Chain A
Amino acid sequence: DTAVSQTPKYLVTQMGNDKSIKCEQNLGHDTMYWYKQDSKKFLKIMFSYNNKELIINETVPNRFSPKSPDKAHLNLHINSLELGDSAVYFCASSPGRWVGEKLFFGSGTQLSVL
């Protein structure tokens, strides 16, 4: 029943490691996103994909690489994790191509880099 689901819910890892977060939506939406929420709850967009095509790539280090195998999935791979990467990462989707429309969020992945 979950509309936007992401795994894992919690991710604790050491600096320098590589990790992935997976996201799937069963809403039939065309556009998917990754947002980062810092400790002050500030939400900032990282990436947006429409039908597997990258349409937004904000100022994010190259260590972050999104991958969209199909329009229902958008995964986030992070290389060489740093302390500053600790945050909650949210996947989201929206129905059409217009990225300024209503977003449906997953429940988040809390990443802690030690």
Chain B
Amino acid sequence: GESVGLHLPTLSVQEGDNSIINCAYSNSASDYFIWYKQESGKGPQFIIDIRSNMDKRQGQRVTVLLNKTVKHLSLQIAATQPGDSAVYFCAENNGDNAGNMLTFGGGTRLMVKP
């Protein structure tokens, strides 16, 4: 399940199950979104991206869904494996005048139980 508060939200899943990680973004003008995976002791790694003219994009074992109406982004991982254990970040290009920066969400820790 998930835990919130001072700790990083955590999603615990059984190996082989599907995982869904959610992200609420802030700016309705954002037009580009990225999911990153950060393993312990490493930098964030690109997983998949999506532009605002799409509502779904699929990669290898991963799918990103975008709901612009409620400003919600999700990452679905099929057949979750122990190697998927990491912290996952969504990032939005907020499209404002401040150089169109990527703004990162707070992250969700995915723990895969063998």
Residues of A bordering B, CB below 8 Å: 4, 40-45, 48, 55-56, 90, 92, 98-108
Contacts and interface: CB of A to CB of B under 8 A. Distances in A.
A105 B41 CA distance: 12
Nearest to B30: A100
A98 B102 CA distance: 10
Interface residues of B, number: 26
Interface stretch (B17-25, B65-73, B87-95): B87-95
A79 to B, nearest CB: 25
A4 B45 CA distance: 12
Contact of A48 (B87, B99, B107): B99
Given A100-B99, A103-B46, A105-B43, 5 more contacts: A45-B102, A90-B43, A92-B43, A101-B102, A108-B41
Contacts of B42: 107-108
24 contacts: A41-B38, A41-B87, A42-B104, A43-B104, A45-B102, A48-B99, A56-B101, A98-B100, A99-B99, A99-B102, A100-B94, A100-B100, A101-B32, A102-B46, A102-B49, A103-B44, A103-B102, A104-B46, A105-B36, A106-B43, A107-B42, A107-B43, A108-B41, A108-B42
Interface string B34-61: 1010100111111001000000000000
- Residue of B8, B94, B98, B101 with most chain A CB atoms under a 10 A cut-off: B101
A98 B89 CA distance: 20
Contacts of A101: 32, 93, 102
A108 B99 contact: no
A51 B10 CA distance: 39
Contacts of B82: none
Contacts of A41: 8, 38, 87, 106-107
